[in-house]
A and B are shown apart, each in its own frame.
Chain A
Amino acid sequence: MSKWTKFFKDQTLNYYYGFKYLAYSESLNSKIIKKLRLNETYDPNRFYLLDLYPTRGTMSLSLNQMLLPIRHVLMDNHNKYQDLLQSLKEAYCRGDSMVVSRKDPFSWESYLELIDDEQVISPRIEKESKSVNKSLLVHANLSNDAGYGLLVQWLGCCARRNWLQKYGNVRMLIWVTASTASHLLTEIGSSKRRRNALNMEAFTNSTLVAISESSRKVIGEDIFSKYAPLVFDDKLVCHSVSHDSDLALIDIQPSNNIVTAEQTAAQIVDLDVWEYVVKQLFIQPRLTMEYNIPMLAAGAGDFILPRLSARTRNKSTVDLTPNDMLEIVKLFSLWPFKPDIKLEFVEEEF
């Protein structure tokens, strides 16, 4: 038994705070890291690793060991995990390369404090570049209940290029439940496709890297065969009794932001409009544009439908590709009588 296997085994833990995570397995971890070909992008001692909700740090340790970041920040505000991370840091002790932070990864302020105020990490701004930012890698565990919502917000940051994405195309390796993975990766045409899957496609290049055995059923064959993820034993998944052993790792690489690309070209499409149109169209995901577009706003149908390509008009929302959606969003933006959607979020309770 390796030192680290023993280390993790010795520390019993009954607190999960709703998270699940991979038990420490050197071989699996290295398989995953190799599959991700991280070392091709991140040179040792030349990048920062931001580890959000690292839980017990089982994967964090491997990432650190294999990639050797300049600084590896383990951010978690859960007490028990905090203690364990602290002991991990002490046992590992690779200079000051590992920093355990008590900040709440859920709060936007944590990042401002960490980077701007405390300057614990200082990634390079590569906003103009189309390739992945080589100075920062994010690893996060969002397998808890609030995880899906948080991930969707981060996805929004990929689109808006704010938060960590202000540094430009920051790659994110994220552990999620199988259902979250399937939500985000659902293919075009699937009746289960929702707006987040479309956004994922529109703003990022994402892949499914690894899943536990029991996740396969949830994710479905289509996604499975498309991404051919590594499959690991359910027994390796640590979780509380009330949870299942589904767990998946997705690799999110923000790159092809079609809206921002369009923005620089024509200055008429903006993200607020994109968000509004996508949200509205996915309320009735199985209706065709013929019926769906008139419900965008009063009179939207009269303007958009005659100008829309026949191909798109007959598609239902789940069949729309990001480019189809862009066609609609552009037309909506061109519509002189479009409503002011900037304040649409002030939703009233009906």
Chain B
Amino acid sequence: MLRSYCRSMVCYATRKSYGTAFVGTQSLCRPMGPTLPQDQYSHIFDSLKKSMKKPLVHSGNDEALDYFSSPNDKVFRNTNAKELNHLWTLLEACAISNDFLRGKKIMENLFHTSNKAEFQIAYAKYLLSWSKSPVSLMELEEYVLKESPILFPTLEFDSKIASILVRKCLTSGSFDNRYQTIITKYIKSSSGNRIEDLFKHLDILGFDNAIIILKAYHLGRESIPSRYRDIFDLKDEAFAIPSLHSTTKESNNSHKCIEEKIAAPTYFEDETQLPPSLDKDAQHLIGVDTFGLKVIRHSLLGLQAKPTNSNGELFSKLESFDESYAPIEFGDEQLSDRTINFFEIKKLLKTPQQQEDFEKFLDAYNAERQRLLEFQSLDGAKRKWEQTLEDFKESNVVNVPSKSIKNYLWKWHSKLLPLIKEEVLKCQKTLSIIGAGNLNSYKTKLSTMERKAFNERLEYANYLILVSPDKMSTLTILELLKIIFTGKNTTGIRTARAVISVGKAVELEYRSERLLSKEIDVFKNFRNMKNSKEFKRLVTTGSKNTFTKLLQQSRSASIDTELEETLFNWPNEIKAKIGSVLISLLLQSAKIDVQGKDPITNEEVHGQVPAIFHQYQYANGNKIGILKFHHDFTSKLSKDNLSGAVQPQYLPMLVRPKPWLSHNLGGYYYTETSLIRTKDSPEQLAYVKAASENNTIDKVYQGLTVLGNTPWTINSEIFNVISEVWNSGNQFLDIPAIQDSPIYPPQPPSDADPSVIRDWKYQVRKVSNKFSSDRSMRCDANYKLETARGFIGERIYFPHNLDFRGRAYPISPHLNHLGNDMSRGLLLFWEGKELGERGLRWLKIHLANLYGLDKETLDKREQFTDLNKANIIDSATKPLAGKGWWKSSEKPWQTLSVCIELAEAWKLKNPNMFVSHIPVHQDGTCNGLQHYAALGGDVEGATQVNLMPDNKPNDVYSYVAKLVQKRVDIDATNGHQLALKLQRHIKRKVVKQTVMTSVYGVTYIGASDQIDRRLKEIFGDDDPDTHVAGRYLALQVFSSIRELFTGAHQIQDWLAEASKKITKSIRMDIDTSMTKKSSKSAKISHLASVIWTSPLGLPIVQPYRSIGKKQVATNLQTVFISDPHAVSPVDSRKQTNAFPPNYIHSLDASHMLLSSIECGQRRLSFAAVHDSYWTHAADVDIMNEILRDAFVKLHETDLVQDLKDEFDRRYHGFLVVESVSKKSFIGKQIQELRQEFSKRLGRKITTADEIYLEKQRQEYLMSSDPTTRKLGEKMVTTVSILENVDIDSLKPINSMDKFSILAPFKLPEIPAKGTFDVRLVKDSTYFFS
């Protein structure tokens, strides 16, 4: 680590010298005084002759800031991000491991790499940890008040730092009023500082200390932030001591969670036993009882509706809603086993008041359960190893057969643990050597090998000591098991992935502990307050509910702060190193018993071999390192049903998700979730963060919050049907049958004909693939069902976040409404709404849609349902024993779900009175094309995608098929052989996929393959012509779409052209040294991504760049990991191909969120799967109006013009490499100019020189000094002469005539729009239907 410390010192020194160079360069740019040299520009050329460094934007902290794609956006990129990331996490690690001396040194470096706000956070974090150590108040004060202002001149003495010092004063037993001196100092340090600011940090200050301050300064309740105010509201409502006792008892328990081991539930001890399933009156599931499932169930136990108090308070509360819950004189245990189906209770409630009361009751009741659930989920890994650890111990005591998995794991663990302990000791020793400061003398004593190991350890020592060896051991074992069973491979994993995953798991463990310890701080706070004299004197009576609520509030507040202040996670190389150390130790310890036959004597032999070993393999021509599990072990795992270990994190929520308020606060309460799902793109995060801070994405937050606020529940009737099918183990619809192991065909003899061997291999591969995919499908279904079962009868919510284009997704991965038909069938809206006449019609239409009749008129769809009444009732009443009409549906599970509701409704005298919970879908017809048609204003296109009102739904695929037919017919009459062959086969199905994907930029080859596949279905696999025919038809389809969507296609072309220009552009503020270097190879780094703002204000940054991979040497092998902080050039091809579809996605996402906001305001239950919007049957008409209005509102503005304006602003001042004809007048002029400049420079002019010259000119032009401006106006550069020149008219004739020039960034004009009036959408029945 010290190495990196030294490195940063070096960097710092170098940066300083950059600074000087910068000042020098800067002076050249300064407005020229009256003493201009003879040649007004010669100084520019002089400076060009010297080497230059990039001028950097300097902040107060001397931090080197740069920009991402464009300087015009003012979204900063810290060029030291990588180092900062390293230092930041290292500082955190030092603070936790009480290495304060080293922490101090790191902070000095951090000061030079971070910006002011970041440093302020880091400083306070460090100080807080230090203050909690036995450091004396004097030493602390000395550091903060005397040393720091000199070391860190820009550091502010802020309220947080003051709070830390005040707390130290008050807790260190200094009874004089020293703390008041600090408060005074704080108030004086800045004019805006007020004593009340300290109370913002109650989690630091402590409630007891706050009371002292309140008292000493005679402050009232209004001084306390509102979220804490009630607790200090001593006049209106005080606390009952007994209630406080009960809560602090709980806090003590939580504390124990960390310090002691929770007794392991028995189901983790016994492999054959599953965790008790929650008895929800639902059938228990037999089947893939995997270990992962145990963990899911274990987490779901957090859901168990336990009577919170032994007096059965819950039940008496429930009794007020449902008499059957009347308290019975049972023992506690029996009470806790009672089934509570909240959904059933809810359905019984008659009056709105009752309903409201019940919802409120659930809110309060579930808040605590949510915390349990999230904590049990969040630390799923922790829970897992903790329980398993006990389990290991248990299995050693109990005489488990030596080959049992548990026994192995225990043996590995017991061998691994001492090795890790030894490693940790070595790390500690390494750190103490650094601490002692005799690093170099120590190193000289080491042998080469030892020195290598020592240097290696320097990098990770600080991190490895953060989590206990015990935990790391179990975590390593379980993490590897998890990866191997959740991945698609069952025999091995890439070493690179394994080391990062284990490293990540260690970090996650460390962060979970941090959150838990934060919570404990809050509990301690309460405990301290409880003990304070002032408190005791004042407290008389009070309400427990208020207290619990307050406790929850302050808990979540402190966790929010912790989450918000986690600016950086451990760098990838640290994760890789930690993972690799742990895994390589595991490889030494993990052995399994094997038996075999001696091939000569034929005797049975027993022995031990490593369970996991490291091997290399070739994959796509690259040599990759693999960690392979021994076959005997993996086969045992699947036999023992331990496979499929999956993290139970991110389950559906029991309470309304935290509303989205900032880029990393929203959704779950105790787990960090990011607004945008992104991978290795700090640029995206920076843009979203900036937008969030500027409050421009409030609507996005609003829309997402509405999606998260929709309550759901599990459809227990569907669940019961599925579990019956499931438990039979047979194949049913999409669910594959259970199979123990694949059955391979017999191997042919070694000298069989190669074709026989090849066919055998093909068969084996097929069997093997089918086996793996069936197994993973069954596992996947099992997770969904298990999750569903845990939530039967519950009110659940799905927090949502976005992909980078703004499309919303539920965060909980296993069971959600985005899932397959089965998942969707399992979900119902929690709220019910009476159908009414229109609702009943929509429910019927919905059924027909699900069945596959979505191309008929609405009336016909309704008729279809009515005609099938008998089938529907049969399906509903006898889903498995009956005729099974529902099974032939396109979406059978959802169909069954509607059948059940309809059958119930028909039982009523007036079916309109039925209270429905089914989400009814309204789907856009080829939504991407709908947006395109609206953008392009294509009348015929708009008609075909149902933007235009019509009395029947139009089908764009059939229409395109007809257009293709026309073209093929013409060719056929001209004797075109292929056309003749295809003439009678141009069906909707043949063109459908290509039409659909044309919006998403399908290529000619891609489209040909799609059509080829369809043609093979018609002509057979062996037909020799389908390939060529695919190509022929692809062209016809493309031309037909163009014909239909002329305007839209011109827009699509414009979008592609624009992104090409952007991604081929050069920034003028670019590091000139970089350009110079690359200009030798005639390559210039293009650094600008395509960035735009969605109509809802969300900045969208395309992440496609050539990924910078970094080689990291680890104990196991060298791994290549991506380096997100590296400046890497954009991948122009990917950016260009992806932009038109991504732009359309950003529009459909905006449309959805706009509709979502409105539905939220109109109090509709709303859900969406991209372009499929869901609400209650009764509300479909309202939703339809809302979504049409939203579409019109979206497209009423000229979106493409806005986009162009935005691009013009963002990429203003950029240069683009263009080709012109050498012989053109401008070509000749530029050649001459370059010659002239080269002469002046005494060398050949480079692209970088040209950029520099143009940059100088621009700076002169922008000067406030008129003389300088004039200088700029007169200055001629290779770029300036292109002003007002139409480059398009100067295109080269051929490649010989091609001449590259730098031209100012200029986008082509937007193509003219067609005449379609988007407002007509409001009257279109089939727009979404």
Query: B619: nearest residue on chain A (CB-CB)?
Result: A350
Cα distance A79–B607 in the bound complex, in angstroms: 61
Q: Given contacts A334-B600, A350-B494, is CB(A280)–CB(B615) below 8 Å?
A: yes
Segment among B656-664, B749-757, B1268-1276 that sits at the interface with chain A: B749-757
Would you call B618 an interface residue if the criterion is a C-beta within 8 Å of the partner chain's C-beta atoms?
A: yes
Are A350's CB and B630's CB within 8 A? no
Residue numbers in B under 8 Å from A258 (CB-CB): none
Cα distance A295–B623 in the bound complex, in angstroms: 14
Would you call A122 an interface residue if the criterion is a C-beta within 8 Å of the partner chain's C-beta atoms?
A: no
Residue from A156, A166, A294, A346 whose CB has the most chain B CB atoms within 10 Å = A346
Are B750's CB and A349's CB within 8 A? no
Contact of A108 among B597, B617, B744, B754 (CB under 8 A): B754
Are A346's CB and B768's CB within 8 A? yes
Query: B761: nearest residue on chain A (CB-CB)?
Result: A345
Would you call B1126 an interface residue if the criterion is a C-beta within 8 Å of the partner chain's C-beta atoms?
A: no
Are B764's CB and A336's CB within 8 A? no
Cα distance A272–B752 in the bound complex, in angstroms: 13
Would you call A228 an interface residue if the criterion is a C-beta within 8 Å of the partner chain's C-beta atoms?
A: no
Would you call A286 an interface residue if the criterion is a C-beta within 8 Å of the partner chain's C-beta atoms?
A: no
What string of 1s and 0s marks CB contacts (under 8 Å) between A329-350 and chain B?
A: 0000111111110110111111
Residue numbers in B under 8 Å from A340 (CB-CB): 631
Are B750's CB and A338's CB within 8 A? no
Would you call A109 an interface residue if the criterion is a C-beta within 8 Å of the partner chain's C-beta atoms?
A: yes
Residue numbers in A under 8 Å from B768 (CB-CB): 343, 346
Cα distance A4–B554 in the bound complex, in angstroms: 98
Would you call B611 an interface residue if the criterion is a C-beta within 8 Å of the partner chain's C-beta atoms?
A: yes
Would you call A262 an interface residue if the criterion is a C-beta within 8 Å of the partner chain's C-beta atoms?
A: no
Which 8 A-B pairs give the minimum distances between C-beta atoms? Answer: A299-B609, A336-B596, A108-B755, A336-B605, A298-B613, A348-B489, A283-B616, A337-B596
Are A166's CB and B751's CB within 8 A? yes
Are A337's CB and B631's CB within 8 A? no
Residue from B489, B615, B754 whose CB has the most chain A CB atoms within 10 Å = B754
Would you call A160 an interface residue if the criterion is a C-beta within 8 Å of the partner chain's C-beta atoms?
A: yes
Contact of A350 among B493, B747, B753 (CB under 8 A): B493
Min Cβ gap A306→B in Å is 13
Residue numbers in A under 8 Å from B1213 (CB-CB): none
- Could you write out 10 A-B pairs with CB less than 8 Å apart? A108-B754, A268-B600, A272-B750, A299-B608, A334-B598, A336-B598, A339-B630, A346-B768, A348-B492, A350-B494
Cα distance A166–B752 in the bound complex, in angstroms: 9
Are B619's CB and A284's CB within 8 A? no
Residues of A210-248 contacting chain B, CB below 8 A: none
Are A298's CB and B755's CB within 8 A? no
What string of 1s and 0s marks CB contacts (under 8 Å) between B884-907 and chain A?
A: 000000000000000000000000
Q: Given contacts A283-B623, A336-B596, A342-B747, is CB(A350)–CB(B605) below 8 Å?
A: no
Cα distance A139–B1162 in the bound complex, in angstroms: 82
Residue numbers in A under 8 Å from B605 (CB-CB): 336-337
Query: A343: nearest residue on chain B (CB-CB)?
Result: B764
Would you call A161 an interface residue if the criterion is a C-beta within 8 Å of the partner chain's C-beta atoms?
A: yes
Cα distance A298–B750 in the bound complex, in angstroms: 26
Min Cβ gap B683→A in Å is 29
Min Cβ gap B301→A in Å is 35
Cα distance A109–B617 in the bound complex, in angstroms: 31
Would you call A188 an interface residue if the criterion is a C-beta within 8 Å of the partner chain's C-beta atoms?
A: no
Min Cβ gap A33→B in Å is 29
Number of A residues, CB within 8 Å of B: 40
Contact of B617 among A270, A335, A350 (CB under 8 A): A350
Residue numbers in A under 8 Å from B598 (CB-CB): 334, 336
Min Cβ gap B746→A in Å is 11
Are A295's CB and B754's CB within 8 A? no
Known contacts A271-B750, A298-B630, then 20 further A-B pairs from the complex at CB < 8 Å, ordered by chain A residue = A108-B753, A108-B754, A108-B758, A112-B755, A160-B751, A162-B751, A162-B757, A166-B751, A268-B599, A297-B613, A298-B610, A299-B608, A302-B609, A337-B605, A337-B607, A337-B609, A340-B631, A343-B768, A347-B617, A350-B493
Cα distance A323–B694 in the bound complex, in angstroms: 74
Cα distance A347–B605 in the bound complex, in angstroms: 29
Would you call B481 an interface residue if the criterion is a C-beta within 8 Å of the partner chain's C-beta atoms?
A: no
Cα distance A349–B768 in the bound complex, in angstroms: 13
Cα distance A299–B488 in the bound complex, in angstroms: 25
Residue numbers in A under 8 Å from B488 (CB-CB): 348-349
Residue numbers in A under 8 Å from B493 (CB-CB): 350
Residues of B618-634 contacting chain A, CB below 8 A: 618-619, 623-624, 626, 628, 630-631
Residue numbers in B under 8 Å from A280 (CB-CB): 615
Are A109's CB and B599's CB within 8 A? no
Would you call B765 an interface residue if the criterion is a C-beta within 8 Å of the partner chain's C-beta atoms?
A: yes
Are B615's CB and A295's CB within 8 A? yes
Residues of B1040-1067 contacting chain A, CB below 8 A: none
Are B492's CB and A283's CB within 8 A? no
Would you call B421 an interface residue if the criterion is a C-beta within 8 Å of the partner chain's C-beta atoms?
A: no
Cα distance A270–B628 in the bound complex, in angstroms: 24
Are A336's CB and B599's CB within 8 A? yes
Residue numbers in B under 8 Å from A349 (CB-CB): 488-489, 619
Are A163's CB and B607's CB within 8 A? no
Would you call A157 an interface residue if the criterion is a C-beta within 8 Å of the partner chain's C-beta atoms?
A: yes
Residue numbers in A under 8 Å from B599 (CB-CB): 268, 333-334, 336
Q: Given contacts A271-B750, A336-B597, is CB(A348)–CB(B755) below 8 Å?
A: no
Are A336's CB and B613's CB within 8 A? no
Residue numbers in A under 8 Å from B987 (CB-CB): none
Contact of B492 among A335, A336, A342, A350 (CB under 8 A): A350
Q: Given contacts A295-B614, A297-B613, A350-B489, is CB(A163)–CB(B626) below 8 Å?
A: no
Would you call B491 an interface residue if the criterion is a C-beta within 8 Å of the partner chain's C-beta atoms?
A: yes
Are B755's CB and A346's CB within 8 A? no
Cα distance A338–B757 in the bound complex, in angstroms: 23
Contact of B616 among A295, A338, A339 (CB under 8 A): A295
Residue numbers in A under 8 Å from B631 (CB-CB): 339-340
Would you call A153 an interface residue if the criterion is a C-beta within 8 Å of the partner chain's C-beta atoms?
A: yes
Residue numbers in B under 8 Å from A297 (CB-CB): 613
Q: Given contacts A112-B753, A162-B751, A162-B754, is CB(A338)–CB(B596) below 8 Å?
A: yes
What string of 1s and 0s marks CB contacts (under 8 Å) between B758-770 and chain A?
A: 1001001100100
Would you call B594 an interface residue if the criterion is a C-beta within 8 Å of the partner chain's C-beta atoms?
A: yes
Min Cβ gap B627→A in Å is 10
Residue numbers in A under 8 Å from B610 (CB-CB): 298-299
What string of 1s and 0s marks CB contacts (under 8 Å) between A161-187 and chain B?
A: 111001000000000000000000000
Min Cβ gap A112→B in Å is 7
Q: Given contacts A157-B754, A336-B598, is CB(A284)–CB(B616) below 8 Å?
A: yes
Min Cβ gap A302→B in Å is 7
Are A337's CB and B750's CB within 8 A? no
Contact of B765 among A156, A299, A346 (CB under 8 A): A346
Are B753's CB and A346's CB within 8 A? no
Residues of B568-620 contacting chain A, CB below 8 A: 594-600, 605, 607-619
Cα distance A295–B625 in the bound complex, in angstroms: 11
Query: B623: nearest residue on chain A (CB-CB)?
Result: A283
Contact of B751 among A161, A272, A334, A339 (CB under 8 A): A161
Contact of A337 among B489, B594, B754 (CB under 8 A): B594
Q: Given contacts A163-B753, A350-B626, is CB(A343)–CB(B617) below 8 Å?
A: no
Cα distance A350–B614 in the bound complex, in angstroms: 14
Cα distance A200–B597 in the bound complex, in angstroms: 32
Residues of B627-649 contacting chain A, CB below 8 A: 628, 630-631
Cα distance A302–B668 in the bound complex, in angstroms: 50
Min Cβ gap B614→A in Å is 7
Are A162's CB and B752's CB within 8 A? yes
Cα distance A221–B864 in the bound complex, in angstroms: 83
Residue numbers in A under 8 Å from B626 (CB-CB): 350
Residue from A166, A336, A345 whose CB has the most chain B CB atoms within 10 Å = A336
Min Cβ gap A129→B in Å is 16
Are B612's CB and A298's CB within 8 A? yes
Residue numbers in B under 8 Å from A156 (CB-CB): 754
Residue numbers in B under 8 Å from A157 (CB-CB): 754
Residue numbers in A under 8 Å from B494 (CB-CB): 350
